[in-house]
Amino acid sequence: MYRKVMTFLEDWRQNPYRKPLIIQGARQVGKTYSILEFGRTHYDNVAYFNFETNPKLCETFEEDISPNYLIPILSHIAGQTIVREKTLIVLDEVQLCERALTSLKYFCEQEPDYHIIVAGSLLGVAVNRAQFSFPVGKVDMKTMYPMDMEEFLIAMGEEKLVERIREHFLTNEPMPSALHDHAMQLYRQYLVVGGMPECVMQYVQTKDYILIRHTQDTILASYLNDMSKYNNANEIKKTRLAYDNITVQLSKKNTRFQYKLIKKGGRASEFENAIEWLCLSGVVSKIYRVEQIKKPLENYRDIDAFKIYVSDLGLLCAKKDLAADDILYMVDEINDFKGGMTENYVNAQLIANAYHRYYWESERGAEVDFVIQRDGKIIPIEVKSADNTRAKSLNVYMNTYKPAYAIKLSSKNFAFEDNKKVVPLYAAFCI
């Protein structure tokens, strides 16, 4: 399956200033598959090592982590000669072996001609530990996320539709009604399936929502297992409580995260480490409120006011135990959840495009869902789950800050009106 990360990997391979590459991201987002597929198509051979399935591998790095020492041993373990520039060395689940991560420094300094990629599902969590030594400045880094809407459409064989969507995004001209309706249908399918590659592949092959839900439940179980396995003993329960509550708070009209809703009397001091663990693991992401719209936005964020979204839409729906038909037909019974789910979807698309995301709230309670910096301009984004696009808060923002333009995401077709770029939800990947 097509993944945008391939373009990044090709550029990395060609870069004369290339360093050992670290790819991080939550479990099951496709890190290993993408790396191995890249190795298969761009190198003579791949030497693959996994610290999770082969724990003894860590012992190899205990005595000496210089490349001259490691390469002959790794060649022996792999059963093939590791050759400079012709072999891709892959170290998987590297967070389980700190010395292996430290060795990247010496590959960078002493043997830069070896092509080496390491991957880790909980690398952010591991590196956050006080005793962990990270090779700062000696590595390249890339974070992978679940498949975005564009990758999903391509997996579904809709390459031509993607081209049309991008054209209409640029021109602001409405799509033909039949194409628009078809794209909206695919968008709702994406909400159910999500962007985990295994789920997408199963959907392409079977269209079996029950099978996909089983896979999603398995992934969710692996996340819960990680919370127990790779967390401080006194934080396990708090992390699970926080994770369970995040999806509950997405159903509320005000999606700002509140510690007191995790449990009665809950405070930041009790749960902030748990939230940090979830963010570092890639399971959720956090966006802060900005009080003023000035560059750089980061300077004006309120660290005590934030929203939390989960990484994958399919996992969100699975965790809420929502039936596929409820989402495909947007039944009234899920009205309370539609807004939070749609915001979560947009956040996932913006993350995939590497935007730093914030939200804005006025003293009188007007709120804009997302604020980003695009092409050097600060752009507000309003999100609606249906075609009801009256956005009083957005108008308050525009009257106050006079942005170059605003973006309104909804089920409406493309348009440009009142200095607002109207974008259908399925086209959020174009932003």
Q: Please report which confidence band the pLDDT of residue 391 belongs to, taking 50, 70 and 90 as the band edges.
A: confident
Residues 204 and 128 in one domain: no
What pLDDT is stored for residue 133 in this prediction?
A: 76
Residues 21 and 131 in one domain: yes
DSSP string for 116-171? EEEEESSHHHHHTSTT----TTS-EEEE--S--HHHHHHHTT-HHHHHHHHHHHHH
Range(s) of the domain holding residue 100 = 5-143
Domain limit, last residue, from 143, 177, 197: 143
Residue 132, pLDDT above cutoff 90: no
Residues 161 and 260 in one domain: yes
Separation between Cα atoms, residue 369 and residue 255, nearest integer Å: 10
Domain limit, last residue, from 82, 115, 143: 143
**125 or 26, greater pLDDT:** 26
- Ramachandran category for residue 351: left, alpha or beta (phi over 0 → left; psi -120 to 50 → alpha): alpha
Task: From residue 82, give the alpha-carbon distance in Å to each of 35, 87, 173.
Answer: 17, 6, 54
Residues 196 and 310 in one domain: yes
Q: What average pLDDT score do residues 347-353 get?
A: 98
The neighbour count for residue 261, using CB atoms within 10 Å, is 13
Residues 68 and 196 in one domain: no
Domain limit, last residue, from 143, 177, 194: 143
Lowest mean pLDDT segment, chosen from 126-135, 249-258, 279-288: 126-135
| Structure tokens that stand for 195 in this block | 């962007």
Which one, of 126, 124, 121, lies nearest residue 93 by Cα? Answer: 121
Lowest mean pLDDT segment, chosen from 50-59, 212-221, 226-235, 388-397: 388-397
Residue 130, pLDDT above cutoff 60: no
Residues 113 and 258 in one domain: no
Residues 153 and 283 in one domain: yes
Residues 139 and 160 in one domain: no
Q: Please report which confidence band the pLDDT of residue 129 belongs to, taking 50, 70 and 90 as the band edges.
A: low
Separation between Cα atoms, residue 180 and residue 186, nearest integer Å: 10
What pLDDT is stored for residue 127 in this prediction?
A: 78
Residues 207 and 250 in one domain: yes
Residues 178 and 301 in one domain: yes
Residue 131, pLDDT above cutoff 80: no
What does the pLDDT look like over 363-375, one tens digit per residue? 888 999 999 999 9
- The CATH number for 124's domain is 3.40.50.300
What does the pLDDT look like over 292-319, one tens digit per residue? 999 999 999 999 999 999 999 999 999 9
Which one, of 24, 111, 18, lies nearest residue 70 by Cα? Answer: 111
Task: From residue 271, give the alpha-carbon distance in Å to each of 174, 178, 257.
Answer: 46, 48, 12
Element (DSSP H or E) covering residue 309: strand 301-310
Q: What average pLDDT score do residues 122-138 get?
A: 80
What pLDDT is stored for residue 264 in this prediction?
A: 92
| Structure tokens that stand for 162 in this block | 């993607």
Tally of CA atoms within 13 A in the half-sphere of 376 that contains its CB: 0
Total domains in the chain come to 2
What pLDDT is stored for residue 253 in this prediction?
A: 79
What pLDDT is stored for residue 254 in this prediction?
A: 80
Q: Is 388 exposed, middle or buried (0-12, 13-18, 19+ CB in 10 A)?
A: exposed
The 367-374 sheet, strands edge to edge: 301-310, 284-290, 358-361, 367-374, 377-383, 406-410, 420-424, 415-417
Q: Please report which confidence band the pLDDT of residue 125 belongs to, taking 50, 70 and 90 as the band edges.
A: confident
Residue 386, pLDDT above cutoff 90: no
Q: What average pLDDT score do residues 182-200 get?
A: 98
The neighbour count for residue 62, using CB atoms within 10 Å, is 9
Residue 257, pLDDT above cutoff 90: yes
What pLDDT is stored for residue 66 in this prediction?
A: 97
What pLDDT is stored for residue 389 in this prediction?
A: 59
Which one, of 75, 79, 76, 99, lies nearest residue 89 by Cα? Answer: 75
Residues 135 and 153 in one domain: no
Exposure string for 291-323, b = 16+ CB within 10 A, e = fewer: eebeeebeebbeeeebbbbbbbbbbbbbbbebe
Residue pair 39/90 in contact by the 8 Å Cβ criterion: yes
Separation between Cα atoms, residue 243 and residue 265, nearest integer Å: 17
Q: What average pLDDT score do residues 144-170 get?
A: 98
Residue 32, pLDDT above cutoff 70: yes
Residues 180 and 113 in one domain: no
Residue 383, pLDDT above cutoff 70: yes
